[in-house]
Amino acid sequence: MLPPVHPQTLADVSEDDLLALIFPSLPTNDSVLVGPGDDTAQLATGSGAVLATTDAMVLGRDWRDEWSTGEDVGRKCVAQNVADIAAMGGVTTGLLITLVAAPETNVAWVQSFTKGLVAAAGEIGVAVLGGDLSSAPAGVRMISVTALGETEVPVVHRSGATPGDVIAFAGSLGRSAAGLELLQRGTPDLAPELVAYHCRPRAAYEQGPVAARCGATAMLDLSDGLVRDLGRIAKASGVRAQLDGAALAPFVEALATAVGEEARACVLTGGEEHSLLATFPDRGAVPEGWHVLGTVGEGAGVVLDGELQHGGGWDHFAG
Amino acid sequence: MLPPVHPQTLADVSEDDLLALIFPSLPTNDSVLVGPGDDTAQLATGSGAVLATTDAMVLGRDWRDEWSTGEDVGRKCVAQNVADIAAMGGVTTGLLITLVAAPETNVAWVQSFTKGLVAAAGEIGVAVLGGDLSSAPAGVRMISVTALGETEVPVVHRSGATPGDVIAFAGSLGRSAAGLELLQRGTPDLAPELVAYHCRPRAAYEQGPVAARCGATAMLDLSDGLVRDLGRIAKASGVRAQLDGAALAPFVEALATAVGEEARACVLTGGEEHSLLATFPDRGAVPEGWHVLGTVGEGAGVVLDGELQHGGGWDHFAG
């Protein structure tokens, strides 16, 4: 093969390709109970264990100052990390926060961010353990959060789904994407509650440990869209995920008044919802408050009423 | 007081001022064994406990691509986080890595970065547990690392120094700053070993647990300069740190050939050295390989041969 004319950049590869380049070489040791590739890692700590996950937010990519206050960003960065701990069946106990910001950043923004962070963490009993502050080039602001947690039951991986299992979720579908759609259209007043959910998601964290105790066989939180995230369970478990259109219909319908034709895409591929998606051995095991969306079968990929669904959802680098 | 004419920005306040604005409000809970303000936090995990710290590196602020390869950056981000765990008396067991990079970033750079990360972690038995990838605006690249660790002895805080203690360090002084100085002068060939230390510091991590077992009363790693970091121990402990010029002289002398008059500033205020600085109850308690630099007295601040030293070292936001 001829060498490429220009060096390959991140814009030329998908996030998954890049992860595949990085993951095989990562060092491990005897303390690692769960390594890379799940919602969180788990590390032995003497006689105990800690769940650990990290997630970043970048100005202009993950939020815009016109649409989100500092307080919103503070709340959102808590939500997305705590949801990852919940998706293993765990409870978050502490957070580390890194703020990298350009010198022209207003102190008032940092105070507003801290207010949201403190409120979101405090409401669910999570401690802020510390962090790091660093300056950035003009125009740049980003947050990196690490959440630490624990679980009283064995963790729920993405890889445990088997044919015959039932697919269900706790929380909402497509609300964050619908809220973003309204902001992009300039019509946030059509459904302020959807816009509020986009800016300040609040996932059903407490349902993570509930699902684990009820015997969930696989679980994750909806970060990048239902089809894409369900595809991750299907791939990790070596199964086919079969969505039932009739079960999804009420959730599409609920968004139709606000975003019309886009409602279906919001439900199937909308990211940043942070609801919990899990598989259970049978309908009887599905906890109260969870919504059944389909079943697990033999094969691969995600199908909706028998039709294979492709990709969708968010990729950080794909052009 | 009249309101300010323009909103206050991060350029108008010091890092310490900003931290003081943020810290008092942070939520805590019963799991927090060590909270914000030390080298790491410590969180209870069932019957065990985990040390946790986070540190970021930003292109153009913490490294330049002309001077540091991806591999250098990968090694350095491991070193600075592992040094923080060591400074509590702990051993690092796992790392979480977040890479936020502009789409024009070369895949080859990411591979080089991963190589350095994997090598530095692997050499000291540290696992890479996972992380996060995110895209950034053009020209932006940054790394955020969280290190998790454990300790078999009680952690060593910054606040335990008392009058009569002896001040000592393990590792080197001013080498990173001298290496940076040579890069800035365009004469790296004058002392390639100093430039190498700047780009790929390798602190005396294993001396952290040694110092803890020998009864160190306070400890931290040299991130922001000897005077500034020693001032942190002095402030946290409510004591005066008394440096002995004769004890520092050999370390200044060792850099004089390479950087001339700047050698003294490198030793006193050079950052990113990541050597361990500690106080011990008496000279007999100072472990082998540690260098005594002075004593702890009554009062406040840092003095050198009786003369009060002011500030110096690195502040992220100060104009």
Identify the structural domains of chain A with CATH numbers, from first to last: 30-150 (3.30.1330.10), 166-308 (3.90.650.10)
Q: Which residue of B has its CA nearest to A22?
A: B114
Pairwise CA distance, residues B319 & B299, whole Å: 30
Which of 10-69 (A) contact B at CB < 8 A?
Answer: 10-13, 15, 18-19, 21-22, 25-29, 31-32, 35-38, 40-41, 43-50, 52-58, 60-62
CA separation, residue A319 to residues A11, A13, A114, A248, A285 (Å): 6, 8, 34, 30, 42
Q: Which residue of B has its CA nearest to A111?
A: B22
Taking the Cβ of residue B87 and every Cβ of chain A, the question of whether any pair is shorter than 8 Å is answered with: no
Query: Given A13, A128, A139, which is nearest B26 (Cβ)?
Result: A128
Taking the Cβ of residue A7 and every Cβ of chain B, the question of whether any pair is shorter than 8 Å is answered with: yes
A95 pLDDT band (50/70/90 cuts)? very high
Cross-chain residue pair B135–A101, CB shorter than 8 Å: no
Q: Which residue of A has its CA nearest to B139?
A: A137
Cross-chain residue pair A106–B8, CB shorter than 8 Å: yes
- Residues in chain A with CB shorter than 8 Å from the CB of B60 are 137
Could you state, in chain order, the average pLDDT of each consecutive group of 10 residues for chain B (319 residues)? 68 85 87 92 91 96 96 97 97 97 95 96 96 92 97 95 98 98 97 97 95 98 96 97 98 97 96 97 97 98 94 56
Q: What is the pLDDT of residues B86-129, one digit of tens each?
A: 999 999 999 999 999 999 999 999 999 999 999 999 999 999 99
Is a pLDDT exceeding 80 seen at residue A24? Answer: no
Pairwise CA distance, residues B85 & B93, whole Å: 10
Cross-chain residue pair A130–B41, CB shorter than 8 Å: yes
Please give the distance of CA B154 from its chain centroid, rounded to a whole number: 21
Q: What pLDDT sits at residue A46?
A: 81
Is a pLDDT exceeding 60 seen at residue A318? Answer: no
Q: Would you say B46 and A33 are in contact if contact means Cβ atoms under 8 Å apart?
A: no
Q: Would you say B135 and A317 are in contact if contact means Cβ atoms under 8 Å apart?
A: yes
Please give the distance of CA A42 from its chain centroid, rounded to a whole number: 18
The C-alpha of B103 sits at a distance from chain A's nearest C-alpha, in angstroms, of 5
Give, as one character, the DSSP assignment of residue A289: T
Pairwise CA distance, residues A71 & A64, whole Å: 13
Taking the Cβ of residue A223 and every Cβ of chain B, the question of whether any pair is shorter than 8 Å is answered with: no
Which single residue is written with the structure tokens 């801290």?
A114
Pairwise CA distance, residues B246 & B242, whole Å: 12
Pairwise CA distance, residues A41 & A35, whole Å: 5
The C-alpha of A125 sits at a distance from chain B's nearest C-alpha, in angstroms, of 7
Cross-chain residue pair A107–B36, CB shorter than 8 Å: no
Q: What is the pLDDT of residues A263-293, one digit of tens each?
A: 999 999 999 999 999 999 999 999 999 999 9
Residue B288 CB contacts under 8 Å (≥ 6 apart), including other chains? none
Query: Given B25, B122, B137, which is nearest A27 (Cβ)?
Result: B122
Q: What is the mean pLDDT of chain A?
A: 93
Complex-level ipTM: 0.92
Give, as one character, the DSSP assignment of residue B98: E
Taking the Cβ of residue A105 and every Cβ of chain B, the question of whether any pair is shorter than 8 Å is answered with: yes
Return the number of other C-beta atoms located less than 10 Å from residue A106's C-beta.
17
Which of A95, A129, A133 is the best mutation test for B, with the most CBs of B within 10 A? A129
Cross-chain residue pair B35–A148, CB shorter than 8 Å: no
- Residue A62 annotated as part of some ligand binding site: yes
Look up residue A180 and give its two tokens. Answer: 């973003």
Cross-chain residue pair A114–B25, CB shorter than 8 Å: yes
- Residues in chain B with CB shorter than 8 Å from the CB of A21 are 107, 110-111, 114
Query: Given A10, A40, A96, which is nearest B107 (Cβ)?
Result: A10
Taking the Cβ of residue A172 and every Cβ of chain B, the question of whether any pair is shorter than 8 Å is answered with: no
- Number of A–B residue contacts, CB under 8 Å: 299
Is a pLDDT exceeding 70 seen at residue A302? Answer: yes
Q: What pLDDT sits at residue B319?
A: 42
B310 phi/psi in degrees, rounded to 5: -115, 130
The C-alpha of B106 sits at a distance from chain A's nearest C-alpha, in angstroms, of 4
Is a pLDDT exceeding 80 seen at residue A317? Answer: no
B306-311, Cβ contacts within 8 angstroms, sequence gap of 24 or more: B306/B242, B309/B227, B309/B231, B309/B243, B309/B268, B310/B227, B311/B227, B311/B228
Cross-chain residue pair B100–A144, CB shorter than 8 Å: yes
Residue B21 CB contacts under 8 Å (≥ 6 apart), including other chains? A107, A110, A111, A114, B13
Q: Would you say B274 and B205 are in contact if contact means Cβ atoms under 8 Å apart?
A: no
- Residues in chain B with CB shorter than 8 Å from the CB of A122 are 27
Q: Which residue of B has its CA nearest to A43?
A: B94
Taking the Cβ of residue A125 and every Cβ of chain B, the question of whether any pair is shorter than 8 Å is answered with: yes
Q: What pLDDT sits at residue A17?
A: 84
